[in-house]
Chain A
Amino acid sequence: EAGVAQSPRYKIIEKRQSVAFWCNPISGHATLYWYQQILGQGPKLLIQFQNNGVVDDSQLPKDRFSAERLKGVDSTLKIQPAKLEDSAVYLCASSLRTPENIQYFGAGTRLSVL
């Protein structure tokens, strides 16, 4: 079974530029998550989708971050414009809708904002 795919693996941009990350979840997983992980910290949930609907985006900085999952499969996360403090690893995860809520993570995209 293929895992969660993310691209790109690395991205370096200057502040005020825009950037987009892509995630392809495990086939059949209805729930998709985007996390931000700053170096040395635990991941912070940015947004959670159930199929193509948003379940939780309470920690998403909506003035600069946006995410979509139009067909209920792939998802993109965008930052516009980027700030220095956005430098982090952006992780995507997916899960089946089960009580155990086991999340499977991609390898992440490491973003450096200069």
Chain B
Amino acid sequence: QVQLQESGPGLVKPSETLSLTCTVSGVSINHNYWSWIRQSPGKGLEWIGYIYYSGSTNYNPSLRSRVTISVDTSNNQFSLKLNSVTAADTAVYYCARHSGEVAVAHHYFDYWGQGTLVTVSS
């Protein structure tokens, strides 16, 4: 079965870079889109960005200047880097798989990781 697992430091200092990896199992990362989504404590879901297995990306305009998403097809992983973090970036970070519709405009998230809490604090 398809499984996604986030990994990375749970504590990051302000102004530093948050780095997370999502390891995908049960399916190849190829020929699909993959997203990062976060949820601040007690708040709603915020989409961060997606990557296609080929490496093409699309980011939330509100985070675009600080975000980089990359893919490692050989290890079936994709990663998130968010730089210059502040306390406002404290959140549970989820990785998720897009559904397989041809048109991106119809995509939804059919598999999610369990999420990992990242706290920004000195």
A and B physically associate: no
A residues engaging B (CB < 8 A)? none
